[in-house]
Amino acid sequence: MRDGDRDRDPPPPPDWMTQGSRDESYKLRRDPELPRNLLETHSLLRQSQGDGDEDRAKNEQHSSPFSGWRALVSGPLPLEPETAVYIFISALDLFVTWMMLRSGDFHERNPVARYFLDHWGPKGMIYYKFTVVAIVTMAAQGIAVKKLATARFVLILGSVVSGGVVVYSVALFLRGTPS
């Protein structure tokens, strides 16, 4: 981006974004000014912070196949709210599972989790659950380097599935129905 480009107003949106009937107003339209992936986000952040000249930032962006990973490690994490919600719901799942197991009326139905619980006790269960959380969040952050929307979908799907397990477990616990 040249210095003169900053002073100009952004171009108007394309016609397909501004035209349409009222019936189609519910459809989401992508804002062309928003970054499409983590590389663009990191580049825009660097430019706004003014921590180097733009040519250097542009060359760094394309200089290495690992530049997206460098942006992931050195800049703010993408999808922090979605990641935080997923981690919270997973911790809630662990808490509800543990409360059910402590009651003595329930047992772990997941064979992998049961293996860790039987061999290493409560610590094994905690390590297993949070290893799964770490793998999912790291995979989502890795996907976000190139496809931010896909990574968001992975985290939201994980949150919905884990949330469904929590709701089901709480319902079983409140009814006192053993699993």
Give which of 54, 38, 48 is closest to 1, Cα–Cα.
54
- Please check the confidence at residue 109 and state whether its pLDDT lies above 90: no
pLDDT of residue 127: 92
- DSSP classification of residue 138: H
- Please check the confidence at residue 16 and state whether its pLDDT lies above 80: no
- Please check the confidence at residue 7 and state whether its pLDDT lies above 80: no
Name every residue whose Cβ is closer than 8 Å to that of residue 20 and which is 6 or more positions away in sequence. 27
